[in-house]
């Protein structure tokens, strides 16, 4: 409060001071409201998140009409999968269903299962747009400049042809952590170790 008082004084107009005070009160209130709604956004209710979703779907995510210039083929899907497993597995799991990603549910919004109907309903152009631009302000990064265009289109083919949930196991980095953890909890159980290892 003091500060706004001083400010108006130094501006040389004593009549503004109460106005200024009112203004800073209003600003303070606005700020509180924003803070409150920011808290709400981090844990959206059903209505709110469905509104957010439809805004995202209809306004934010572009390129609905763009066609995938790369024909879908086992090779394209495989190559897309390789890029996916290089760049995306850390959050989306090897299989795109976020298998074995320990923080997936804690992210806000959470890392979705890419086989979800909502995501499969995007056109190829929209999926490509999402990969290229990311989704701000969420944890989904933009890949422009990291993946080239063809690579992104192939990743889209992979997203259309995801392997069954859990079929590829957890990303190595989390698997090792989980195994360590399990060992520490249960005492070493070496028989378990060969399970799905493919080094």
**Residues at the contact surface with ligand HEC, assessed by CB under 6 A:** 56, 84, 87-88, 90-92, 107, 109, 111-112, 114, 119, 127, 130-131, 135, 138-141, 143, 155, 159
Residue 161 beta carbon to ligand HEC: minimum distance, rounded to whole angstroms:
13
Cβ-based nearer residue to ligand HEC, 4 or 122: 122
Which candidate, 152, 133, 154, places its Cα nearest to that of 62? 133
- CA–CA separation, 4 and 17 (whole Å): 8
Cβ-based nearer residue to ligand HEC, 16 or 135: 135
Contact by Cβ (8 Å): 144, 133: yes
Cβ-based nearer residue to ligand HEC, 12 or 45: 45
Backbone dihedral angles phi then psi of residue 189, each to the nearest 5 degrees: -130, 80
Cβ-based nearer residue to ligand HEC, 8 or 155: 155
Residue 128 beta carbon to ligand HEC: minimum distance, rounded to whole angstroms:
9
Contact by Cβ (8 Å): 126, 64: yes
Residue 184 beta carbon to ligand HEC: minimum distance, rounded to whole angstroms:
27
Residue 87 beta carbon to ligand HEC: minimum distance, rounded to whole angstroms:
4
- CA–CA separation, 66 and 161 (whole Å): 19
Cβ-based nearer residue to ligand HEC, 8 or 156: 156
- CA–CA separation, 144 and 151 (whole Å): 11
Cβ-based nearer residue to ligand HEC, 8 or 81: 81
- CA–CA separation, 113 and 86 (whole Å): 18
According to DSSP, residue 41 is labeled H
Residue 187 beta carbon to ligand HEC: minimum distance, rounded to whole angstroms:
34
User: For residues 176, 177, 178 and 180, what is the CA-based torsion angle, rounded to 10 degrees?
Assistant: 80
Residue 69 beta carbon to ligand HEC: minimum distance, rounded to whole angstroms:
17
Q: Dig out the tokens for 159 from the structure.
A: 């997203």
């Amino acid at each position: 409060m003091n500060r706004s008082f001083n400010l108006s004084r130094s501006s040389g107009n004593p009549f503004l001071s109460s106005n200024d005070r009112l203004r800073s009160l209003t600003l303070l209130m606005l700020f509180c409201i924003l803070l409150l709604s920011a808290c709400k956004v981090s844990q959206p209710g059903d209505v709110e998140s469905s509104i957010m979703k439809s805004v995202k779907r209809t306004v934010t995510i572009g390129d609905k009409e763009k066609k995938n210039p790369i024909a879908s083929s086992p090779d394209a899907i495989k190559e897309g999968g390789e890029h996916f497993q290089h760049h995306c597995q850390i959050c989306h799991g090897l299989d795109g269903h976020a298998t074995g990603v320990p923080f997936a549910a804690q992210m806000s919004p959470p890392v979705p299962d890419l086989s979800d109907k909502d995501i499969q309903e995007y056109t190829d152009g929209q999926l490509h747009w999402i990969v290229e631009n990311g989704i701000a302000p969420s944890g989904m990064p933009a890949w422009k400049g990291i993946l080239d265009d063809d690579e992104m289109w192939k990743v889209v083919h992979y997203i259309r042809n995801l392997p069954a949930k859990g079929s590829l196991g957890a990303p190595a980095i989390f698997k090792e952590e989980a195994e360590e953890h399990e060992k520490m909890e249960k005492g070493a159980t070496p028989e378990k170790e060969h399970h799905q290892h493919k080094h």
